[in-house]
Amino acid sequence: MPVSLDIGCNDFDNMSQRDVGSLNSLISGLAQNSEGRNELFLFKKMRMEGAEVDVMTMSNVLSVCADLAALVNGKQVYGLVIKYGFELYLSVGNAFIDMYAKCGRMEDACQFFMNMPIKTVVSWTSLIVGYGKHGLGWEALEAFDEMERKGIVPNKITLLRTLYACSHVGLLQKGHLTEAYNFVERTPIKLEAKLLTALFSSCCSHMNVELAKTIGQRLIELEPEEAGAYMLLSNFYGIIGDLEDVANVKNVKEGNKKNKGMYMD
């Protein structure tokens, strides 16, 4: 038995009051130290000894099953979830979506998602992440659109994962760049430069000149103090032979440097 697990079990065995809170603390500690297999072993051991479980226990163990792609263990946990009536708890539902998706069972993940009475942004994001991992870019986009129609506000992780799903299956290739940019602009969360930089690079690769200009200018507006934004746009103008706009970018850079009182290489 690994040393860390041996110590953990001994600590648990020596506790004067061994309750579900103690079990959860020990399981959580193992999970945080990337000892998922030890956590499953401990969970099985404690269950054999009659230890009680609660919603937090189930969520933690399911997360480990997801990280290890341990579908068999996940199905065993499902039996306990049904036994204790935890299937309608939001945290458990989200954990099942994540577990099934990481185990390559997107149909099961979708079915569990559909059966959830309440869905939060975490639920939708878990579904979108699953689609992305399996190269289902269009499904990820459809899920995102449906989430918006339901009035669920996406967070940064939702946006990043949706863009990842699109990129993974080539939806950011020529012909879909405008849709991707519109998607980024309409999201209600704060834009990040790395998102626009990724789109800008795709525009340059496919010589989408007009959209590259739009995104480049937007990037400068977003980070007027960063020299990298000016360099990207200036280099692009140089590649297409637009020397006038190369000079314009330099003038904008110098003007912002004077206005902000900042030095930019």
Tell me the C-alpha distance between 99 and 105, whole Å: 9
Tell me the C-alpha distance between 52 and 225, whole Å: 56
Asked whether residue 178 is domain-assigned, the answer is no
pLDDT at 183: 74
Out of 102, 118, 150, pick the residue that ends a domain.
102
Determine if the pTM surpasses 0.85: no
Asked whether residue 38 is domain-assigned, the answer is yes
Asked whether residue 235 is domain-assigned, the answer is yes
pLDDT at 3: 37
Number of domains in the chain: 2
Asked whether residue 14 is domain-assigned, the answer is yes
What DSSP string runs through the chain? Answer: --HHHHHHHHHHHH-SS--HHHHHHHHHHHHHTT-HHHHHHHHHHHHHTT----HHHHHHHHHHHHHHT-HHHHHHHHHHHHHHT-TT-HHHHHHHHHHHHHTT-HHHHHHHHHH-S---HHHHHHHHHHHHHTT-HHHHHHHHHHHHHTTPPP-HHHHHHHHHHHHHTTTTSTTSHHHHHHHHHHSSSPP-HHHHHHHHHHHHHTT-HHHHHHHHHHHHHH-TT-HHHHHHHHHHHHHTT-HHHHHHHHHHHHHHHHHHT----
Out of 67, 102, 137, pick the residue that ends a domain.
102
List the pLDDT tens digit at each of the 265 positions of the chain: 343 444 445 555 555 555 677 667 766 666 666 666 777 877 787 778 777 788 888 888 888 888 888 888 888 888 888 988 888 899 999 999 999 998 989 999 999 999 999 999 999 999 999 998 888 888 988 998 899 899 998 887 887 788 777 766 666 665 777 877 887 777 666 677 877 887 888 788 788 889 999 999 998 988 888 888 889 899 989 989 888 888 988 888 887 776 665 444 4
pLDDT at 42: 75
- Provide the residue range defining the domain that includes 12: 1-102
pLDDT at 35: 60
pLDDT at 124: 95
At 248, which CATH number?
A: 1.25.40
Out of 102, 127, 152, pick the residue that ends a domain.
102
Are residues 190 and 95 part of one domain?
A: no
Instruction: Give the tens place of pLDDT for each residue, 49-107.
Output: 777 788 888 888 888 888 888 888 888 888 888 988 888 899 999 999 999 998 989 99
